[in-house]
Structures are given as structure tokens and as C-alpha cells.
A and B are shown apart, each in its own frame.
Chain A
């Protein structure tokens, strides 16, 4: 049977771990002994865990900054690409940061934003502004991490939106032009509404990804200073492998799963992703 290898892989590495994930979330397990069944104790503990709430707050802050700016920039770039050039060179250049790993993107900006000799701080002091410890400052740490990932993903997201723009038929714009509609109005009245289903899918994909930010934090701030950048995935990782609370970490990952599922459903619903205004 053709399906056999994939089915084997699916059952062993997706289905079985998923079920086991739920099981671990109901146990106390430090990776060494055997998991001890403790029922829903982990879940009962989560609401009283200040570090969990902190990680959720930090993650939401990151997601809002990351997705907010990234989506606006991506739509802007996509429209610009559509109107100005379809050159592969331009699209390729915008995609370049997405091809390198999160780790490399993080290290590159760690260097560019270095407090002492980073280029950005040189520029700031040349302007006469105080230097900023981007990754170590209570206020700037999360916006900085969000910025690094906007830099890496904006071109990719713009290409997704660009693909969506191609599905809007030309005659709609032509008709609008005949009616004397300006470009600015055409964007708000035609492009955005017709782009809605694509935008909804792009948002679900990017928000889900954004919630699982890990690499950038792990390479640069490691959750610090104190808990300022301890995003939820990094918290889960620390609980599982540094604190020896694998069961509790599993329970947290169940919570993350539920949050993401609810968010995805909400977005699809609110943006009426299933239906198009075209036709």
C-alpha cells in the first residue's frame, strides 16, 4: 500500500505523541523516573502560576507588535510590487531574509544593535540621542525581538499577499477607473475587501507562528532581563528541560494548543474567511 510509510510515520510521530502529550499533561514527570499520574493537578496549578501569566502577557505583546506591523508592511509591499514591478529580482531581494535561519537573523541584529559598537547605536549617538540597550532594556526588549522577526518575515508575508492580489480580476479596477475612482479609494474600497479571504488565511498562519516564537529569544535574551522576554514557548522549554517538570510543561503546551485553536477559529469567523465578496 502506498499510504503505508506515511501512515506509519503519522501514527508513530504525530498521532501517538499527540495522545501521549495529553497523558503527560496529567502526570508528574521529571524525565528520569516514570510518570506519576496526578490527574488535573497541573491544570489546576496553571492559573495560580504568575510566571505563566507573565509569559502569556509577554507573548501577546510580542504577537501584537509583530503581526500588527508585519501585516501592514506586507500589504504595502504587495501593493507596491503589483503596481511598480513584477521583477523577480525585487521579489527575490525581499525574500532573502526569510531564507536565512531565525538564529542567523537574531545574531545579525544582536550585532547591529550592540550597545557599545553596534551600528544602530553609533547612529543614535551621532544623532545626539542616548544609546539604547535594545535586548537588555525593559521597554525595548520585546519590541526589538518583534522587529527582528518583522525584518525576517515581511518579504515572505508580502509575497503571500501578492499572490492574493493576483486573484482580483482587472475588470473590477477598470470599471472603478471609468467611474472616476482614485487609486487611494480603489485600495480601500476594492483591494482590501476583495483581499479579505486571503488576508484571513495569512493572519491565521502568521499569528499561529508568531505565538510560537522561540529561536530569537533563545539565542539573544534567554528570557531576560528577569522575565521580560520569557515568551510562552521558552517557558515551556525551560519547565520541561531545565526545571525537570515535564508533566507541567506538557500541560502548558495543551493550554497553548487550545489558545491557538480558539484564536484561529475566531479569526476565521470574524474575517468571514470562507466567503468572498467577489461573484
Chain B
């Protein structure tokens, strides 16, 4: 992908003064949107560090009200029932660690399978010659147009018939082998690999398997990593499918659990501090991944979308 960086102003307005005014205004708008984007995150943190019972007394204070780590302790199951109720929690045990584990297994499972098998398919579409290749690829691509819910309803029945309802494998399986997007993404990259490398490998007597594992996969490690990160984030944040097939205590993932946690309060007013602490913990893995791979993720968005 050609990414030309355009740092200098492109068009110079006739007079300098107007430029300076225009730039000032432009920065003001940009900063306004940055504040709108980031402020809710500050509010999550501020609330998570507050005591729920004290929140109504200072609803617009920018700093935590009655500072406490209690909400985090409650969410992670580190505080006693009495403590939790005193701070405005529900006292009901939320098995947060279990949901965290389920989310991790679900997202990791889908990511590993999908990246690996989609790369294999992409190799077949991009580098190997076989009859019907273009037709099969067109059919794969056609699936991109189908709205997910259309296949998810019958997939629910399928998983149910397989006896895999409310199991992690049942949640993972449908996207374990491929998604049209993943195959398309990897194929785009593999089309650009130099043919000579493969030809010299073939001369040395390497078969397609050796070529794939020794040459193509290592060469594709950068886009494969990007794809893996994108799949992980999407799966981690997925709500609809886990709600259909995994909405019981033992296989609930974080997104589904958060929806339940919200309605699990006795007095009517939710345990806001606990809820916000829970969302922070639930978002943490993805945010950490983002900090580690920010560049890769940001650049990939132009790549997949601009296509």
C-alpha cells in the first residue's frame, strides 16, 4: 500500500493571516472532538474509583467521590459480601475470573484457528494453480455480503444439534476455520510475494507444504500478526453470538456477563462504581494490546478499508 505522508499544508491561502486563523479554528475543532472521545474514559476511571453509595452526593465532581479500590475488589471477588453491600454493591457473587477466562479462551481459540487456516486457504488462492480456483474464491467472497444474523440463526440450530450449546468449542467452531475477510486479507498480501523465491525452493525439491511453512508463512508474519490482532479484538468484543450459544453461567464471556451484571442490582439503582470497574477490567486486555501494537492497528485500518 502506498501511504504518502502529507505533512505540509497542501494549498496556501493567499494571505498568511487567514491561514493562522483557519488553523487555530481547525485545531479547536480537533481538540473538541478529542475531548469528546476521551472524556468518557476519564469518567469510567473516576467512577470506578468512587464509592457507589456516595456517588449521588457529588454527581458532577471530576475526582473520585469517596476514593476507594473497593469496586475493583468487589469485581475481582476479593471483598466480603458485607463489605460489598456496605459500598453499594449487590453482594451477589459475580464470577468475574471465570468470564475473563471464557473471553480469553474464546478470543484466543478463534484467532489461532482462523489465522492459520485462512492463511493456508489464502496460499492456495494466491500461489497455487488448480481448477475452479477463481470460482471458489468468488463464492468465498460472496459470503462477505451476507449479514451475519442470516447465518447465525441456522448456526445456532447446528451447534444445538451437535450438542455443543453452552460449550466453548460450540462458540469457537463457526469462525475457527475461516472468515471470508481473513482469507481475503491474507490473499491480498500473498499475491505480492516474489515468484522467484518459490521457484528456487521448487528447484531445491521443496513441495508445497515445505514452501508454505518455510517460506510463505515466515514472509507473511507481519500481515498475519495484524490480522490476528484484529480478529482477537473483534472476537473479544463480540456480543451477539456468545449471547446465543453461551448465555449460561459456565460459558458466559465478559460482554454477556456485563449485560447481566447491570441488571443484577436489588435496589433499582445499579452499582455504578462496580459496573465501571468491571468495564475497565473487561476492556484492559484489548487496551494493552492496542498500546503494544498501536501503529500496526492504526495502519491496518487504512489497508483493509481503503481496498
Chain A interface residues (CB < 8 Å from chain B): 1-3, 5-10, 12-18, 20-21, 24, 31, 73, 76-77, 80-86, 88, 90-97, 99-104, 107-112, 114, 116-119, 122-123, 126, 151, 154-156, 159-160, 162-164, 166-167, 169-170, 173-174, 176-177, 180-183, 186, 198, 201-202, 205, 208, 211-212, 214-215, 218-219, 233, 236, 240-241, 246, 249-250, 253-254, 256-257, 260-261, 264
Contacts and interface: CB of A to CB of B under 8 A. Distances in A.
A112 B40 contact: yes
B153 A21 contact: yes
Main secondary structure of the interface of A (DSSP, over half): helix
Contacts of A93: 34, 37-38
Contacts of B297: 95
A156 B297 CA distance: 11
B151 A84 contact: no
A169 to B, nearest CB: 8
Nearest to A18: B151
A5 B117 contact: yes
Contacts of A108: 40, 43-44, 276, 279
Interface stretch (B70-78, B219-227, B287-295): B287-295
Interface string B188-212: 0000000000000000000010001
A102 B240 CA distance: 10
Contacts of A256: 147, 149-150
A92 B7 contact: no
B233 A99 contact: yes
19 contacts: A2-B120, A2-B124, A17-B151, A86-B5, A92-B298, A96-B290, A100-B279, A100-B287, A101-B282, A107-B262, A108-B40, A108-B276, A116-B56, A117-B56, A160-B301, A180-B14, A186-B11, A236-B153, A250-B153
Given A17-B154, A159-B301, A167-B2, 11 more contacts: A14-B151, A17-B152, A24-B154, A80-B26, A99-B283, A101-B237, A151-B40, A170-B10, A241-B244, A249-B153, A257-B147
B34 A94 contact: yes
B29 interface: yes
Contacts of A233: 149
